[in-house]
Amino acid sequence: MSTTDHTGAFPFDKQDQVDKIEAGLLSGESIIAVYDGKGGGTGFIGLTNRRLVLQDNGFVGKRVALTSVPYRKINAVSFISDKSMLGRIASSSSIAVSVGSATYEIEFRGQEKAKHAHDVMLGFMS
């Protein structure tokens, strides 16, 4: 799942993204996974034992936001696919996370990463 192994503890794609998440960890918080996003908008997604962390590259003026969302604030998490994939939703490499009136869409570099992130969020939502 990971391109590099960070002390064997969790899957991730890029060390600099892990470093950003680690710099903001709260007491008792640990990383579950950090995945790079494809395309515009989301730079990466981090999953901890307390929250979802998204880097949003879509702000005006080339600004970037690092957004933290406690799992209890997530309304829904969805697989996104085109109509031709409807019978194979779990094989999608994109998910949408609804938080209040906002929806964050993340396209992952692989179906297994999207499924892992989806399942982690569902586990903390229940």
Domain boundaries, the chain: 15-125
**Residue 126 pLDDT class (50, 70, 90 cuts):** confident
Q: Which of 38, 56, 111, 112 is nearest to 81 (CA)?
A: 111
Model confidence pLDDT, tens digit, residues 62-89: 788 889 999 999 999 998 876 555 555 5
Model confidence pLDDT, tens digit, residues 36-61: 998 766 789 999 999 999 987 767 67
- DSSP per-residue letters across 96-110: EEEETTEEEEEEBSS
Asked if residue 12 has pLDDT above 90, the reply is yes
SS3 3: coil
Annotation: CATH topology of 15-125: PH-domain like (2.30.29)
